[in-house]
Amino acid sequence: MNEINNNPLQNNPENFTIKDKSPEESSAEVIIRMFPSDANPAGNVFGGEILKHIDMVAGIVAQRHSQSNAVTVSMDSVNFIKPVFVGNVLKLNARINYVHNSSMEIEVRAEAEDIVTGIKTVTGTAFVTFVTLDKNGKPSHAPKLLVKTDEDRKKFEEGKIRMEERLKHRKKPNT
């Protein structure tokens, strides 16, 4: 009997093309309903629950851009601006701002919707850095980011400055 390999990254055909992409091509949106198990007894959703989804949607963008495995190396500028409540619909939008060699900065914006009133509130923002890995788990070159619009260019330059700043505070193993 044939064994089934459920790892989608290992099931990829060998002959696909990895191409440079614009931020738009890898952008992602996820929509999740918030349940009581996601929140404290007062109904406020845990920050950690939202972080999990931020990491997940940023990972979709990183893997779409790199067309390879990619892992989180840092998360910063996480701001919970307004509360998210049980019953809200949480919408996360993620886009890639900047690519260096193997590292990629992904920006995530979180918005909560009260589906009874229809009121939508921006509740959080974060920057997540992913590193693309080769089949041996080593950092590898990510495709180039094709900046096409004025907004792409602005976000690329801002992302570059943030990445330089981030690396000044980077913790290396055994430090």
CA 72 to the chain's CA centroid: 9
Asked whether position 63 contacts ligand COA by CB under 6 A, the answer is no
Using the rule CB under 6 A, give the single segment among 6-14, 34-42, 86-94, 164-172 that binds ligand COA. 164-172
The least distance separating ligand COA from the CB of residue 40, rounded to whole angstroms, comes to 25
- Contact with ligand COA (CB under 6 A) among 45, 51, 58, 131: 131
Asked whether position 101 contacts ligand COA by CB under 6 A, the answer is yes
User: Which of 148, 69, 47, 154 lies closest to 107, judged by CA?
Assistant: 154
Asked whether position 103 contacts ligand COA by CB under 6 A, the answer is yes
Using the rule CB under 6 A, give the single segment among 18-26, 31-39, 43-51, 163-171 that binds ligand COA. 163-171
- Decide the pairing of beta strands 89-99 and 69-80: unpaired
How many CA atoms within 13 Å lie on the side-chain side of 42? 4
Residue number with CB closer to ligand COA (88 or 129): 129
- Judge whether 70 and 18 are in contact, CB under 8 Å: no
Asked whether position 97 contacts ligand COA by CB under 6 A, the answer is no
Q: What angle do CA 64, 14, 21 make, to 5 degrees?
A: 30
Asked whether position 132 contacts ligand COA by CB under 6 A, the answer is no
The least distance separating ligand COA from the CB of residue 83, rounded to whole angstroms, comes to 26
For ligand COA (CB under 6 A), the number of binding residues is: 14
Edge-to-edge strand ranges of the sheet holding 103-113: 28-33, 89-99, 103-113, 120-133, 69-80
Task: State the distance between the two ends of the chain, measured CA to CA, in whole angstroms.
Answer: 49
d(C-alpha 67, C-alpha 30), whole Å: 19
Asked whether position 102 contacts ligand COA by CB under 6 A, the answer is yes
Residue number with CB closer to ligand COA (123 or 132): 132
* Contact footprint for ligand COA (CB under 6 A): 71-74, 100-103, 129, 131, 139, 166-167, 170
